Each structure stands twice: as C-alpha cells, then as structure tokens.
Amino acid sequence: MFLIIFIIYENYSKWIHQECWKMGGSICCCCRSEDEENEQLTSVILSRQPPPQETCRGSLLVFLNPHSGKGKSLETFAHTVGPKLDRNSIRYEVVITTGPNHARNVLMTKTDLEKFNGVLILSGDGLVFEALNGILCRDDAFRIFPSLPIGIVPSGSGNGLLCSVLSKYGTKMTEKSVMDRALEIATSPAARAESVALYSVKTDNETFAAFLSIGWGLMADIDIESEKWRKSLGAHRFTVGGFIRSCNLRSYKGRLTYRIYEQKGFEPSSNVFGVYDKTTGQRMEESEDIDTWQLHDSPEDSTSSEEVVIEDDFINVYAVTLSHIASDGPFAPSAKLEDNRIHLSYILWKDIGTRVDIAKFLLAIENQTHLDLPFVKRVEVSSMKLEVLSDGSYVVLDGEVVETKTIQVSATRNNICVFSSTA
C-alpha cells in the first residue's frame, strides 16, 4: 500500500513540473517558494546578534546543509538551535554549505579552529564524513581529531553516528526522541563529549578517515539508488529501495580479504570531557603529539593473525564500526563507541535459497535478528580489503560513494570526539 501511494505521489509531482514548464516557468512554483523561504531563513540566521563576549560560555563553528534529508536544517537552526544557543550564551559562527566539499575546504584551511569549543553539524553522516576528511588534510590533523568535539543535530536521512552515541545512554530510537535529545545536548552549556574510534581507509587514489560503515552490494545499492527519494520519503527511502532491490536481486563478483581482530594488549577507552571546559586550542596543548595514523594491527607486525581470502559471487558485504547505521534496530549490537574492531558481515550468492531470504534479511535488521540468519556470515576483524571484480556496483564509505575498485580498511588507535550527553 505504501509503495502504491508513493508511486502516485511521484507521478503527480512529475505532472506538476511538466505543467509548469508548459507555462514557461523554469522551475515550479513550489520550488520557487522553497528557495525564497531558504533565503529568508539564511538572512535570519546570519543577522542574529551574538551574546556579549563577557557573558559568553563558549563558541561553536556550525555547518548547515540546507539540502540534507528533507531540507529542514535552516529552519531547525533559525527557530530552535540558534535561539537556544543564544539563551545559553554560546556564540557561534555559521557556515551554510553551498555544495559538495564546502565544509571540507573550510576545515582544511581555517586558521582559527583552536578558538572554538567544538563543531556543530546540522546534516547527516555525509557531512560529518566530509568534515573529518577536511581535517585529515591538515598538518595538525591528529591533534585536532580528539580535541575538536563534533555535535550533531539530525537533518539527514542517515544518522548512524548520532544514533550510536545516543543509544549508549538509552535514548529511544524514534525520530522525535533522537531529535529532542540531540537538540538538548547540542545547545546545552553542560554538554559532554567522548571518544569514537577512527579508521584508516585507502582506495585506488585516496586515503580517508572513517567512523561508521563500508558497504558494497545489496545495501550499498539500496542506499545510493534510493537517494532520489530523500526529500519525499526521508528514512523511508531505504524501505522502498529494499523492496525494489529484493525483487531485482543482483550478484557481485569480488575478492574479500580480512584479518581476525585480536586485542594485542590495546584496551580502547572512552575519554569523557566537558565541551565548554576548554577550547580546542587548550586541549591540543595538553594532548600528546600524534602526527600520523596509529594502526591497531600494523602490517609489519609479525604476530598479526593469518589473512582469510574469499573470492566469490557476493550478495552483500557490509562492515560497521558502530552499533547503528540508522534509527532502527542496531546493525551491530555489540559494537561500542571507543572499541576499534570492525564488525564485518557478508552474504554469498551460493548460500541463499530464494529472494525471500533477502527480504527476510532486510526486515530482520529492524528486529536485530539479521546476524542470526544462517546465510549471513559475520566476523570481527582488525583490517579488511575488498577488491571489486565486476562492474555496475557502488562502494560506499560512511554513506558516501567512493570511486574505486579496491578499498582497504584498518582499525587504528586514533579517535574523534562526539557530543554524547549532558553533565
């Protein structure tokens, strides 16, 4: 029923656009009103007067993506986040992103990051990923990562990082509960942050910092191919995409290599601190001088566990480093924020019976029983390498497509810090 209603809605929207074009309009009236509303909201946000410096409790660098999720980030900041920060005497500098890599470029080149207490992002996991990889391009990246806490107000259709953090403290995983708690933490002078493990990722051409997931095959296709329904359906786009992909199942030829995770004497720990107790610069001064990736399991380590290699036809390869990839049930219930192991799962074509098995898998994710299905293989690893041996598929890192045929992921001893609670 939901799918039928959606198809009707899509066709009606297309008809409206076509009629507007016939009348000579370059874009439809609804698009014009949305643009006008965004201009008005932008004016409100940028013209707001900051609280007096002498009463200021701290300062945030804020990134707003006006096109993430259902396009409500400007409205949320203008009507809710901004006024609450004002009342709590927290100053802020706002950057409204105008396209891909805007936030990345700002964080690559900004010379006064040390004056802020943290970064606040109104978007989804994609903008967090972009921000982290802007920092990665800096000479002082590995001192900034654990010193510049990141706050998140969910405005995207995928909010796995935020949901993983909030679930640790018992927040109910509903859209309203997640939003309410995120707003409370993001605007509170008592906000606290804590460690989240960081991963090193190498592709054919680039090195990335990652924090959430690596996908290829079924779930990656659902994520990317449903992007066109992001504004109309929000998180429900994954449900529609899953139904369509289950009916039109694909196989993917690839080679998967991994090393089993071993503790090796390293005990990941969570560093909890008050966001406004110190500035980023003050925390950097106190931090150890780390200037490179500190791998958990170095390739030169002769005691590393033996490599496992699987070359076959896959249905799905999905590895996560946090518990949640969205606000439904956890994908990896045993994952912890600070723990640096990679929770790898995969499905081989030869192991499934019918397409019904895949539908069961997708439905089971909401009930947290997907990893118990007999055709789903799972293992905890310290590193993995995926080589794509067929065409026509996406490799997705933290929800973002990366153009590569090879992706190598390694657990590290590095971390970032994320707003997580209030004192």
- The backbone torsions φ and ψ at residue 255, rounded to the nearest 5 degrees and listed phi first, read -120, 125
91 and 50 in contact (C-beta within 8 Å)? yes
Q: What's 79-148 look like in SS3?
A: HHHHHHHHHCCEEEEEEECCCCCHHHHHHHHCCCHHHCCEEEEEECHHHHHHHHHHHCCCCCHHHHCCCC
- The backbone torsions φ and ψ at residue 234, rounded to the nearest 5 degrees and listed phi first, read 60, -135
Between CA 360 and CA 372 the distance in angstroms is 11
Residue closest to 143 by CA, chosen among 397, 410, 417, 342? 417
Between CA 285 and CA 327 the distance in angstroms is 37
Strand partners, 96: 64
Between CA 131 and CA 82 the distance in angstroms is 21
Percentages helix, strand, coil for the chain, rounded to the nearest 5? 40, 25, 35
Between CA 166 and CA 182 the distance in angstroms is 8
Amino acid at 136: L
Between CA 134 and CA 69 the distance in angstroms is 22
Tokens found for residue 80: 């809710």
Write down the catalytic residue from 86, 125, 180, 357.
125
Q: Is 213 helix (H, G, I), strand (E, B) or coil?
A: strand
Residue closest to 332 by CA, chosen among 359, 296, 371, 361? 371
Residue closest to 47 by CA, chosen among 15, 90, 78, 73? 78
Tokens found for residue 399: 């929800």
Active site residue 125: yes
Count of C-beta atoms within a 10 Å radius of residue 133: 24
Q: Which residues are catalytic?
A: 125
